[in-house]
Chain A
Amino acid sequence: MQIFNKEPSFDFMGKRKLALIVSILLVIISIASLATRGLNFGIDFTGGTLIEVGYENSADLSEVRATLESAGYGNAITQHFGSSKDVLIRVPPHEGMTNADLSTGVLNALHRDSGSDKIEMRRVEFVGPQVGEELTEKGGLAMIYALFGILIYITLRFEKRFAVGSVVALVHDVVITLGIFSVLRLEFDLTTLAAILAVIGYSLNDTIVVFDRIRENFRKMRKGSPVEVSNRSINQMLSRTLVTSFTTLFVLIALFVLGGEIIHSFATALIIGIIVGTYSSVYVASATALALGVSKQDLMPVKKEGEDDPDVLGDQP
């Protein structure tokens, strides 16, 4: 089966102005939301205590709240997690109480009120404020190092304008993914961060495949402006881009639906990231490289002195 029996010839680069406006708009909305609403950070970054309890039958949240209130944990936030039988309780730090006492206290209160056979501890997570700070710092650093590592690799393998193009695409993807998390108030925890870093890797994968073809076509095609060469390359790689994005999306949707509640934000981040990443590798990365004036000479293999190179002459844009 094939999507295109012949090589498609969509004019992607002709629409790059429109794409630019869309991208800028999305980035502005994302940054605005990140600046005003921020991210809904999980306890990995904020610090605090989180307790997940499983009930035998579906749990009544208002009862759970009442129990906690009477035990002196009135400021705890409760919500269903995954199913109505699971309850997630977030407890802010209590003055003069260690974390150990806090989680034990909450669990005991729940046990007391509902009879110990009916509920079960599924998960307790506590992150001290200091550890939270460290994780945030490390996470930010990881993102920056990953971007730099990639920038260096692409500069070595391709050319600096392509490197800038791919990093602009990456920043675009990361900012928009984070922006969507911020707008939708989705929880952002350590695994989400891992997903974002995977998005960086994936989106780059897509970009490089397109760049690789652009480079090849620059060398091969005797005629054609950079815009035409880019367009042709994107079209040639289009079915691959779509097929790979689809297979990856299939498995991610499987993960989202079947992987359980804990992995939800991870799968969500990747799904968003891959959709945005596919779009950006077509529009953002190549358009940036073009805007920076990438041309045929930049990509020709270095020739020895004295060897003549008829291709370069007369083919200037």
Chain B
Amino acid sequence: MNQYPTWKYVLIITVILTGILYALPNLYGDDPAVQISPLRGAPINEASVTRVSELLKGEGISTKSIEQIERGILVRFNNTVDQLQAKDLIEEKMGENYIPALNLSPATPDWLSALKAAPMYLGLDLRGGVHFLMEVDMVAAARQAGERYVSDLRSILRGEKVRYLSIARTSSGHSIEIKFRNVADLELASSIIRKEYPRLLLEQEDRGGDAFLVVSISDEEIRETKKMALQQNIITLRNRVNELGVAEPVVQQQGDNRIVVQLPGIQDTARAKEILGATATLEFRMAVENADVQAAIAGRPPVGTRLYKERNGSPILLKKRIIVTGDQIIDAASGIEQQNGSPTVFISLDSKGARKMADTTRENVGKPMAVVFIENKTNSKRIDGELVRTKKKIEEVINVAVIRDQFSKRFQITGLDSSEEARDLALLLRAGALAAPIEIVEERTVGPSLGQDNIDQGMTSVIVGFIIVMLFMAVWYRGFGLVANIALTVNLVMIVAVLSMLQATLTLPGIAGIVLTVGIAVDANVLIFERIREEIRSGNSPQASINAGYDKALSTIADANITTLIAALVLYTFGSGPIKGFAITLSIGIITSMFTAIMGTRAVINLVYGGRKVKKLSI
């Protein structure tokens, strides 16, 4: 009696060994590291890795490893002194297009990494950092779309010489009303609009003799506009976050109109907010041909011109007069030109911009035109403990192209080197274009010292709680209590292993969940052991009591745990951030404890007592 078949032992041992294996990375700690992220499409390849390694070697900074990772280069160091030195050096020598960020990188040995084993992912409340929830103003996004149509329709009607009395957005916002003197004008106008903007919905209305044309934007287009506004903001935020030099940033859509931005390890939140909120714009200007650049560099630019710099740093003279600015760009997308297959960027302007662009390009065919990217940044630095803010306007020529023909509302920029460059340019153009405004609706910032405190206090309470429960169980149930303690320990390892495998985020409430699980996990054993005692009291043999104890307690344990699991699942579904962390650890703990407390303890007890004559149980 009370013997497990061999396969059950094999199964239990396999599960436990797998658990230990995947929990193992958590013991190795972290290496101080610097993560280098490229900006503005700067290349990351073997050459840049070599450059970094030679740069560090040149200064005598020893490294543990240098590797190319998904979005940059990761350099590991033996100590934080080297790490800090290296960061300053890279910042200074690698140029503006490479942003170094301090990081703690898990020191998981290669053989474990090969098994996809990694340490638990700590939440922001444990590692410190900034969490922003931003909301895109969708009403404004829809309004902007409406306003653009008003100005487009006005100019197209004027261009076609169709007379109208008034044009305005309705108060509801999703449609535009145009009033005409007579039905003939209205008919003419609607046929033009239908041809030019086939997606708009047109409706005629006769109100007391006045002819009205109601132009509405379809629901589908409004949805698209909103989606675009969100995407555009996500792209803009990603670009800016990259500039902050954060090792593992998260910029993610949440729901229909919100964006989550998480910046682990950022300490200067004021700066983070400034950069995320920076404004960028674009200007199209004519470039000056055969200009005396040298004179301009010397401080004497020709009248009506200004000196700019291209991305590679070479100077270029542009005319002062602005043709079009970024807020007149409706859309920019990268693609392939159909005629010769070269990468290109398609740009759409609003009507006002299009008119100016058409006028300028008509007169300047064959001449070069430049796109200037302007960013307003606030930089804050601590100088002698004082916070000094400097406002900086960065102007940069991102593209110069020769005008081949008169531009219309839609035009394209060709002559780009690669489709990657085309994509980046389109991205910059969109980022500079007027996006729907965003607002921070939730912020949770945890300073690094509090994060560490949270880890320390959390861990202490897990350990102390764990020890108290173990002592209690050993005193209360003696031999069986020790078996339960083994199960409890294995359960803790399993929770850590599953958390590591899922790469679920461990938060402070998550640690509280683990503590609670320690308390609840012994319940299964308490139920079984109390049952065994009852069976013994009612005069059954020790072996029969063990058997009956496990059998009869099983359904009770299952019922009790499933109901707790229901509560945990509801928490997971409705909870946000840290609460989800609690629900996850609680759920994992319940499931693993079923395994360890029932199968695990039974296996040990079978090994000890099974298959022989037993007079008395140590319970």
In contact, B387 and A111 (Cβ under 8 angstroms): yes
Knowing A244-B522, A251-B469, A260-B453, the reply to whether A190 touches B579 (Cβ < 8 A) is yes
**B559 adjacent to chain A (CB < 8 Å):** yes
Bound-state Cα–Cα, A247 to B469, Å: 6
**A52 adjacent to chain B (CB < 8 Å):** yes
Closest to A145 in B: B570
Bound-state Cα–Cα, A205 to B508, Å: 24
**B582 adjacent to chain A (CB < 8 Å):** yes
**A72 adjacent to chain B (CB < 8 Å):** no
Closest to B570 in A: A146
Chain A residues with CB below 8 A from B530, complex form? 237, 239-240, 243
**B534 adjacent to chain A (CB < 8 Å):** yes
Bound-state Cα–Cα, A54 to B450, Å: 9
Chain B residues with CB below 8 A from A7, complex form? 534, 537
Stretch at the interface among A11-19, A59-67, A89-97, A117-125: A117-125
Stretch at the interface among B91-99, B290-298, B317-325, B512-520: B512-520
Bound-state Cα–Cα, A128 to B135, Å: 10
- Most chain A beta-carbon neighbours within 10 Å: one of B133, B457, B469, B586: B457
**A236 adjacent to chain B (CB < 8 Å):** yes
A153 touches which one: B534, B537, B563, B579 (CB < 8 A)? B563
A276 CB, min distance to chain B CBs, angstroms:
16
In contact, A201 and B575 (Cβ under 8 angstroms): no
Q: Main SS of the interface on chain A?
A: helix
Chain A 1-43 interface 0/1 with B at a Cβ cutoff of 8 Å (1 = within): 1100011000000000000000000000000000000000000
A247 touches which one: B472, B537, B555 (CB < 8 A)? B472
Bound-state Cα–Cα, A213 to B530, Å: 13
A282 CB, min distance to chain B CBs, angstroms:
15
A271 CB, min distance to chain B CBs, angstroms:
11
In contact, A122 and B574 (Cβ under 8 angstroms): no
In contact, B476 and A243 (Cβ under 8 angstroms): yes
Chain B residues with CB below 8 A from A263, complex form? 457-458, 461, 508-509, 512
In contact, A212 and B578 (Cβ under 8 angstroms): no
**B309 adjacent to chain A (CB < 8 Å):** no
A13 CB, min distance to chain B CBs, angstroms:
20
A204 touches which one: B458, B508, B564 (CB < 8 A)? B564
In contact, A194 and B579 (Cβ under 8 angstroms): yes
Closest to A142 in B: B574
Q: Which A205-230 residues have C-beta < 8 A from chain B? A: 205, 208-209, 212-213, 216
In contact, A240 and B527 (Cβ under 8 angstroms): yes
**A306 adjacent to chain B (CB < 8 Å):** no
Chain B 427-469 interface 0/1 with A at a Cβ cutoff of 8 Å (1 = within): 0000000000001111111110110011001101100111011
B465 touches which one: A142, A212, A251 (CB < 8 A)? A251
B551 CB, min distance to chain A CBs, angstroms:
12
In contact, A209 and B574 (Cβ under 8 angstroms): no
A40 CB, min distance to chain B CBs, angstroms:
19
**A115 adjacent to chain B (CB < 8 Å):** yes
Chain A residues with CB below 8 A from B583, complex form? 194
Q: Which A245-260 residues have C-beta < 8 A from chain B? A: 246-252, 254-255, 257-260
**A135 adjacent to chain B (CB < 8 Å):** yes
In contact, A270 and B273 (Cβ under 8 angstroms): no
Bound-state Cα–Cα, A106 to B454, Å: 24
**B396 adjacent to chain A (CB < 8 Å):** no
**A316 adjacent to chain B (CB < 8 Å):** no
Q: Which A119-169 residues have C-beta < 8 A from chain B? A: 120-128, 130-131, 135, 138-139, 141-142, 145-146, 149-150, 153-154, 157
B444 touches which one: A125, A259, A270 (CB < 8 A)? A125
Bound-state Cα–Cα, A60 to B422, Å: 58
In contact, B385 and A116 (Cβ under 8 angstroms): yes
In contact, B468 and A254 (Cβ under 8 angstroms): yes
B461 touches which one: A145, A191, A254 (CB < 8 A)? A254
**B567 adjacent to chain A (CB < 8 Å):** yes
In contact, B458 and A126 (Cβ under 8 angstroms): no
In contact, B570 and A246 (Cβ under 8 angstroms): no
- Most chain A beta-carbon neighbours within 10 Å: one of B460, B461, B508, B583: B461
Chain A residues with CB below 8 A from B135, complex form? 128, 130
Bound-state Cα–Cα, A153 to B566, Å: 9
In contact, B564 and A201 (Cβ under 8 angstroms): yes
Bound-state Cα–Cα, A255 to B412, Å: 63
**A267 adjacent to chain B (CB < 8 Å):** yes
In contact, B574 and A141 (Cβ under 8 angstroms): yes
In contact, B443 and A126 (Cβ under 8 angstroms): yes
**A202 adjacent to chain B (CB < 8 Å):** yes
Chain B 307-350 interface 0/1 with A at a Cβ cutoff of 8 Å (1 = within): 00000000000000000000000000000000000000000000
Chain A residues with CB below 8 A from B575, complex form? 138, 142, 190, 194
Give the number of chain A interface residues (Cβ < 8 Å): 80
**B556 adjacent to chain A (CB < 8 Å):** yes
Chain A residues with CB below 8 A from B13, complex form? none
**A79 adjacent to chain B (CB < 8 Å):** no
Bound-state Cα–Cα, A247 to B477, Å: 13
**A57 adjacent to chain B (CB < 8 Å):** no
**B148 adjacent to chain A (CB < 8 Å):** no
A177 CB, min distance to chain B CBs, angstroms:
14
B519 touches which one: A121, A141, A252 (CB < 8 A)? A252
Chain B residues with CB below 8 A from A128, complex form? 135, 439-442
Closest to A158 in B: B559
**B140 adjacent to chain A (CB < 8 Å):** no
B508 touches which one: A200, A240, A254, A262 (CB < 8 A)? A262
Bound-state Cα–Cα, A165 to B453, Å: 43
**B598 adjacent to chain A (CB < 8 Å):** no
Closest to A199 in B: B567
Knowing A7-B537, A150-B567, A190-B576, the reply to whether A259 touches B512 (Cβ < 8 A) is yes
Chain B residues with CB below 8 A from A237, complex form? 530
**A84 adjacent to chain B (CB < 8 Å):** no
Closest to B380 in A: A104
B461 CB, min distance to chain A CBs, angstroms:
4
A205 touches which one: B445, B523, B576 (CB < 8 A)? B523
Chain B residues with CB below 8 A from A115, complex form? 385
Chain B residues with CB below 8 A from A190, complex form? 575-576, 578-579
Closest to A143 in B: B570
A191 touches which one: B382, B568, B578 (CB < 8 A)? B578
Closest to A274 in B: B519
In contact, A244 and B582 (Cβ under 8 angstroms): no
**B526 adjacent to chain A (CB < 8 Å):** yes
**B560 adjacent to chain A (CB < 8 Å):** yes
23 contacts between A and B (CB under 8 A): A99-B443, A104-B273, A107-B270, A116-B387, A122-B449, A124-B443, A128-B440, A150-B566, A150-B567, A191-B582, A198-B571, A200-B567, A201-B568, A212-B556, A247-B469, A247-B519, A248-B519, A251-B465, A251-B519, A252-B465, A255-B465, A258-B464, A263-B512
A-B CB proximity, top 8 nearest: A251-B465, A201-B567, A248-B519, A128-B441, A142-B574, A201-B564, A254-B465, A260-B457
| B interface residues, Cβ below 8 angstroms from A | 125, 133, 135, 267, 269-270, 273, 277, 382, 385-387, 439-447, 449-450, 453-454, 457-458, 460-461, 464-466, 468-469, 472-473, 475-476, 508-509, 511-512, 515-516, 518-520, 522-523, 526-527, 530, 533-534, 537, 552, 555-556, 559-571, 573-576, 578-579, 582-583, 586
